[in-house]
A and B are shown apart, each in its own frame.
Chain A
């Protein structure tokens, strides 16, 4: 493997890993904030217990998201220095703004929230967790604006003298049409993930409580959380579907090859059908068996059931005449300007399939639990436990699809991935980096899941009146301490 291979694997590993935690952070912070607000408003004990319980899980998760995020900030310069030189004038700005607007907000207010129990007035304290959540949204916006620019460069000119892309219109980058559909898609998927996380954890505890014969059972408390989580999952899921549909049409327009690769559509079709499942030769070039939905691809790609969808072979010729011979053709893919088709084909289906499964599952659970009380059966809590895993995997497949589907480009139409890598980094350095990070991340995963499991099993803590912030006794113990 050369430096490009290693750098790509590293980017894939650490970015997918980072994004296992990020959507849970975004989604759960909103739900915890809502629980705490409900407690401040109603004073009902159950909301404080849910706030503290899910708040703890949120923090265990958030910690890993933060530390793996630090690596993200620096690895562009480390492994992708030619990329950084080429795009820094445009790409650096959203990154810097993300730090200034989002990271400061998140980390400062998180400190206030963690240690602020009994120190801040209750409504101010609840506001701090909302600030954390707003920080996560800012963060999403700017990093996705940067990514959208890679998918569809706008608001720039190429300067031959400096050999780089230069910013000409900041607002065009901020309101890139790819960004306007990607941001809602990703954030709603994060809400979906957060909702499913709350639902799954609560369903496990509900099942556990039901099995106990104790008089004071928390089963109703967890059932409430199940329903709240399920509702978030379902409604966010509908939004994910709508925004994803819009995204597909924009993608067909700006990156037609990605849509063709998503469907493994080799030759242009009008109308085009969507294959739910295809079993083909290992190189993905010939199909042996397929289940197809007529006209669906036309609709997904163009919004019309009779629209024309271009095939890989035609697009390859178009790209060649537009961009010249693919400089990375031999390196990346079976054909010029073609991503790895089985990867794009299956990742697209896994993303959609898992997302639909999660939303449908959430709908079913809402239905079963609609009358409250003690809904029978153990199948639905078991289903609820599976759904957060489905949403997390759907997120990963979505990113694998959109990033792999853009290949061989790093910046679509402007720079290939091979041209983006750091020329001065040695294979040895790149190996040290990927091995060290992967090993450390593996250890962290074990530690994180261990802690998460430990705290889930403990369940929601007993109600305890938080100390009054007006109590200025300097000698009382801290309400929270590390």
Chain B
């Protein structure tokens, strides 16, 4: 296989890692005001993702860095072209991350309310905008002969793009609800499971329309297989949640997200950013890539170090595998009595 193809696949894997993992972080953040009914329950939700959200987020940083290294033209066109949505995502991630770190550091209701709002908004915005961005990448945007994006913000806000955003939003919310049902105990668990079924049905409708539309637009035989399997996984996941099998339900949305992203990349290949201005201006795995030497170096680095990353990230999930319920939340005021406890 060509190294450019290998790296296209690896970047797809990084985005799959990002959306399957941070997807449920986003879901937990968005559902905070819906599922939690008091402060202790809100703290339960924060703590379900507490030890892992930061590691989950690194996947997008590595995806960005790997795109820069392996497909510099793609990195340059994408990030300078999708400027304002990306800026919004960055701002959202900043306030969201700080909500995790700072919320418990002051015993004050206004302080907590502000950070809760930051977490919810900061999860909602990227969950929506990543979908809009990816739909537009797959559908193509106006790109000129210098590989420059020539559209505006409103070019990206087309019906297909917006539907893509709605799909990621609903999928991540469902994924988050499945995760909460799997990681908590007591009333929250049941509330989350009931909600995951409702959200899942909504997500399924939106996702099927979107995936069929994508398949009709740019699909290949392989993307069709991925999309059909993704839809099957989603339906199975919802069924498992309805039956009370929370582990399988979570696996269901996990696989759904992974296969949907894989399908989008398969529909994209061999383009990385098609141009709607002229096919000749499309960025492809070959005309946007780094040199063979750089790709070789990067392949070695990835081959040697990725197993370690997977190993220790997996270990973290093992260490913090237990369910969390309201009685696990320490009753002492977090800011004062346990100052220095972390």
Binding site for B on A (CB under 8 A): 49, 52-53, 55-56, 59-60, 63-64, 66-68, 70-71, 73-74, 76-79, 81-82, 84-85, 87-93, 95-101, 103-105, 107-112, 114-117, 119-120, 164, 166-168, 170, 422-425, 429, 432-433, 436-437, 440, 444, 447, 451, 454-455, 458, 460-461, 474-482
Distance of A449 Cα from B35 Cα, bound (Å): 33
Known: A64-B98, A92-B290. 19 other contacts (CB 8 A): A53-B340, A70-B93, A90-B294, A92-B294, A95-B65, A95-B68, A95-B69, A96-B298, A99-B58, A99-B65, A100-B306, A112-B319, A115-B50, A116-B319, A167-B290, A422-B76, A440-B95, A479-B341, A482-B334
Asked if A88 contacts B328 (CB within 8 A), the reply is no
> Is A432 in contact with B84, judged by CB distance below 8 angstroms?
yes
Interface string of B263-295 (1 = CB under 8 A from A): 000000000000000000000000000110110
In the complex, A316→B59 CA distance in Å? 46
Q: State whether A477 touches B331 (Cβ < 8 A).
A: yes
B61 and A108 within 8 A (CB)? no
The interface residues of chain B lying within 8 Å CB-to-CB of A117 are: 341-342
* Interface stretch of the complex, out of B144-152, B171-179, B188-196: B144-152
Within the complex, the shortest CB–CB distance from A28 to chain B, in Å, comes to 14
Q: How far is the CA of A112 from the CA of B320 in the complex (A)?
A: 9
B134 within 8 A of A: no
- Per the bound structure, the CA–CA distance linking A45 and B52 in Å amounts to 30
Q: How far is the CB of B120 from chain A (nearest CB, A)?
A: 15
Say whether A482 contacts B103, CB under 8 Å.
yes
Say whether B43 faces chain A, with CB atoms less than 8 Å apart. yes
Q: Say whether B80 faces chain A, with CB atoms less than 8 Å apart.
A: yes
Shortest C-beta distance, A308 to chain B (Å), equals: 39
Most buried by A among B61, B102, B301: B61
Look across to chain A and name the residue whose beta carbon is closest to the beta carbon of B45: A482
A245 to B104 CA separation, bound complex (whole angstroms): 45
Q: Which one, A70, A85, A99, A109, contacts B72 given CB within 8 A? A: A85
Write the nearest CB–CB distance from A121 to chain B, whole angstroms.
11
List, in ascending order, chain A residues with CB within 8 A of B70's CB.
Answer: 92, 96
Contact B309–A93 (Cβ < 8 Å): no
Q: Judge whether B301 and A458 touch: CB under 8 Å.
A: no
- For the complex of A and B, 10 pairs with smallest distance between CB atoms: A88-B72, A77-B79, A92-B69, A92-B68, A96-B65, A461-B340, A81-B80, A99-B62, A52-B340, A107-B54
With both beta carbons as reference points, the residue of chain A lying nearest to B335 in the complex is identified as A454
Q: Which of chain B's residues have a CB closer than 8 A to the CB of A432?
A: 84, 87
Question: Can you list 8 contacts pairing A with B, beta carbon distance less than 8 Å?
Answer: A85-B76, A108-B313, A111-B50, A423-B148, A429-B84, A444-B94, A476-B328, A482-B46
Set of chain A residues within 8 Å of B336, measured between Cβ atoms: 458
Cβ-defined contact, B72 with A67, below 8 A? no
Among B51, B78, B306, B335, point to the contact of A111 (Cβ < 8 A): B51
Q: Are B150 and A424 in contact (CB under 8 A)?
A: yes
Contact with A along B98-134 (1 / 0, CB 8 A): 1011111110000000000000000000000000000
Does B86 count as interface, using CB distance less than 8 angstroms?
A: yes
Q: Which of B73, B94, B301, B309 contacts A85 (CB 8 A)?
A: B73
A84-B75, A108-B55, A461-B338 given; A89·B290 CB < 8 A: yes
Q: Are B339 and A455 in contact (CB under 8 A)?
A: yes
Asked if B83 lies at the interface with its beta carbon under 8 angstroms from chain A, I say: yes
Q: Produce 1/0 per residue, B296-321, CB < 8 A to A.
A: 01100110011001001100100110
- B75 contacts A88, CB within 8 Å? yes
Q: Which residues of A contact B243 (CB under 8 A)?
A: none
A99 to B65, CA, bound (A): 7
Docked complex Cα distance between A291 and B78 (Å): 53
**Interface on B for A, CB 8 Å cutoff?**
43, 46-47, 50-55, 57-58, 61-62, 64-73, 75-81, 83-84, 86-87, 90-91, 93-95, 97-98, 100-106, 146-150, 290-291, 293-294, 297-298, 301-302, 305-306, 309, 312-313, 316, 319-320, 322, 324, 327-331, 334-336, 338-342
Contact A477 B94 (CB under 8 A): no
B residues near A109, Cβ cutoff 8 Å: 312
**A477 near B72: Cβ-Cβ < 8 Å:** no
- CB-CB < 8 A to A74: which residues of B? 64, 79, 86, 90
How many whole Å from A211's CB to the nearest CB in chain B?
20
Neighbour of B76 across the interface among A60, A88, A461, A479, CB < 8 A: A88
Contact B83 A451 (CB under 8 A): no
- Tell me the bound Cα distance from A248 to B108 in angstroms: 51
Contact of B55 among A76, A104, A480 (CB under 8 A): A104
With A117-B341, A482-B43 known to touch, is A425 a contact of B80 (CB < 8 Å)? yes
> Contact check: which of A120, A455, A478 meets B47 at CB < 8 Å?
A478
Instruction: Kindly provide the distance from the CB of B92 to the nearest chain A CB, expressed in whole angstroms.
Output: 11
- Distance in angstroms between the alpha carbons of A164 and B57 in the assembled complex: 31
State the Cβ distance, A131 to closest chain B Cβ, in Å: 8
Given contacts A74-B90, A89-B290, contact A167 B306 (CB under 8 A): no
| A68 proximity list for chain B (CB < 8 A) | 94
- Contact check, A119 vs B319: say whether CB atoms are below 8 A apart: yes
Closest B residue by C-beta to A69: B61
Known: A63-B98, A92-B72, A433-B87. A101 touches B305 (CB 8 A): yes
A164 to B81, CA, bound (A): 20
CA gap between A110 and B150 in the complex, in Å: 42
Distance from B188 Cβ to chain A, minimum over Cβ atoms (Å): 15
| With contact pairs A56-B339, A115-B320 given, residues A93 and B58 touching in the complex (Cβ less than 8 Å) | no
Q: Which of B79, B297, B305 contacts A93 (CB 8 A)?
A: B297
Give A107 to B56 CA distance when docked, in angstroms.
Answer: 9
Interface centre among A100, A103, A451, by most B CB within 10 Å?
A: A100
A111 & B148 in contact (Cβ 8 Å cutoff): no
CB distance from A103 to the nearest CB of B (A): 4
Asked if residues A60 and B83 are in contact (CB atoms below 8 Å), the reply is no
Contact A111 B66 (CB under 8 A): no
In the complex, the answer to whether B297 meets A82 with C-beta atoms within 8 Å is no
Nearest residue (CB) in B for A56 is B340
A458-B339 in contact given A84-B72, A92-B68, A167-B293 (Cβ < 8 Å): yes
Contacts of B291 in A (CB 8 A): 89, 166-167
The contact of A451 among B61, B67, B106, by CB within 8 Å, is B106
Specify the chain B residue showing the minimal Cβ separation from A430: B83
Contact B305–A100 (Cβ < 8 Å)? yes
Q: With A95-B68, A482-B100 in contact, do A88 and B61 touch (Cβ < 8 Å)?
A: no
C-alpha gap A111/B290 in the complex (Å): 34
In the complex, residue of chain A having the shortest beta-carbon distance to the beta carbon of B68: A92
Given the complex, which residues of A lie within 8 Å of B106, measured CB to CB?
A: 451, 454
Of chain B, the residue at the smallest CB distance from A439 is B91
Assess the A477–B103 pair: CB atoms within 8 A. no
A307 to chain B, nearest CB (A): 38
| A74 CA to B78 CA, complexed, in Å | 10
Q: Is B83 a contact of A425 with CB atoms below 8 Å?
A: yes
Contact B98 A481, beta carbon cutoff 8 Å = no
The interface residues of chain B lying within 8 Å CB-to-CB of A482 are: 43, 46-47, 50, 100, 103-104, 334
